[in-house]
Structure 1
Amino acid sequence: MNLLRLSIRQNFASIGIETNRARLDIESPPGDLEIQSSPSVMKANTDKEKLTIDSSRAWMALGKGYHMEWLRLISSQMNQELLLNVSRIVEEGNQLAKFAKQGSSIADMVVKRTQEKSSIQCTGDASCANVDVQYTPAKVELEWSPQKIDMTYTPQQPRTSYVDGKVDIYIKNKNSLTMWVSNYDTYA
């Protein structure tokens, strides 16, 4: 038996999309910076420092001091030396007055006089503190003029370029519907 058969074929549509991205180019040149500065100025006013060294007592201790100081040193001891000599003369007079003593009193006195040392001190006292040092530091006055700085900045505008993006949409495959009738033999 011959029957008719209906066949249907369907194709789906497909869409194609192509895109080109947009592009933004930015170029930013550096700005111009100008700096002008004047040097700072410092003025210093100073007094002279003063160093005073007095070594006269050290020279006197060595026996090489100034003549007037040496005379003062000797003359200050004369009063004591006078009293010492007077007491010595009295002692020698008392010794000469004793005739009963055996031996030569005059010879003993001469020997004693030749061997005695002077009690007058011709030099000053030796000491590590004989040198006087006095230092007066200098006075410093500072005047300061600060530095002046002038800065000028000129910015540069950025350069931009923009390219639009594209989107192309198209039908890649069209949709279709195909129908046909064919004979259909069930016993074949």
Structure 2
Amino acid sequence: MNFPQIRLQSSPASIAIQTMPGKMEIEQPQAELDIQQPKAILNIETTPGRLTIDQTEAWADMNIKSVFRMAEENAQEDQQAALEATASISQDGDELMMIENGGGAIASQAKRNGESPIYEFNIGWIPRHGSVKINYEPGDVRIDAKPQQVINNSKSQKPIINYTPSQVDISLKQHQSLDIDFTNLKFVGINYEQEI
């Protein structure tokens, strides 16, 4: 027995997708450098140190003196010797004036004036310590420095960017289809009838 059949055969639609990836190119030009550093203004003032050495007394201790100083010292020594001699003669006169009181004034004067004087001597240094006078005035340094600002005329460069966006192409590769097939059907009027 043949039964009527409807046979359906379909195929789906398919699409084609084609992609082109994007591309980005970046180029960075070098910056233009123009930097200048002016020299600082430097002012230095110095006052030199001063050293003075006075050896006058050291030379005098070794009896190396100026003519004026020797004349002055000799005058002082002569004046002192004259005063001492006057005092001694005056003392001798006073003793002789009172000879009647006894005491042997003539004998004591003869002994005193007839003996050589006894000089005392001890260790000495020529020239003596501290006879050289040293005076030092330290110097001075004044520094005035004025720094100068940096002159910067550098220019930066913007990057060069080339961008190609990605692209997607979508197309219909195959249309959908539906095939209908009838078997064992009899068409009567506007309807189908089954044939038995």
TM-score (norm 1): 0.53
When residues 28 and 147 of structure 1 are mapped into structure 2, their CA distance, relative to the original with a 3 A threshold, is same
Q: Which has the larger radius of gyration?
A: 2
Query: Higher strand proportion, which one?
Result: 1
The letter of the residue matching 1:54 is: D
Q: Percent identity?
A: 21
Matches within 5 A, 1:86-97: 86-89=86-89, 97=105
Alpha-carbon distance between aligned partners in 2 of 1:110 and 1:133, rounded to the nearest angstrom: 50
Matches within 5 A, 1:1-188: 19-44=19-44, 50-89=50-89, 97-99=105-107, 109-113=113-117, 115-116=118-119, 126-128=128-130, 130-135=132-137, 137=139, 147=148, 149-169=150-170
When residues 170 and 97 of structure 1 are mapped into structure 2, their CA distance, relative to the original with a 3 A threshold, is same
The letter of the residue matching 2:167 is: K
When residues 117 and 180 of structure 1 are mapped into structure 2, their CA distance, relative to the original with a 3 A threshold, is same
When residues 26 and 92 of structure 1 are mapped into structure 2, their CA distance, relative to the original with a 3 A threshold, is same
Alpha-carbon distance between aligned partners in 2 of 1:134 and 1:76, rounded to the nearest angstrom: 34
Alpha-carbon displacement from aligned partner over 1:59-87 (angstroms, at most 9, x marks no partner): 22343233323443443444444343445
Alpha-carbon distance between aligned partners in 1 of 2:147 and 2:168, rounded to the nearest angstrom: 65
Tell me the matched-pair count.
172
CA contact (8 A) 1:7 1:179 kept: yes
The SS at the match of 2:65 is coil
What residue ranges of structure 1 are gaps of 5+ in the alignment? 182-188
The SS at the match of 1:82 is helix
CA contact (8 A) 1:96 1:106 kept: no
Alpha-carbon distance between aligned partners in 2 of 1:9 and 1:66, rounded to the nearest angstrom: 149
CA contact (8 A) 1:39 1:148 kept: no
Shift of 1:140: 5.4
When residues 117 and 167 of structure 1 are mapped into structure 2, their CA distance, relative to the original with a 3 A threshold, is same
When residues 86 and 22 of structure 1 are mapped into structure 2, their CA distance, relative to the original with a 3 A threshold, is same
Alpha-carbon displacement from aligned partner over 1:143-184 (angstroms, at most 9, x marks no partner): x67647543233334222112212244678987889999xxx
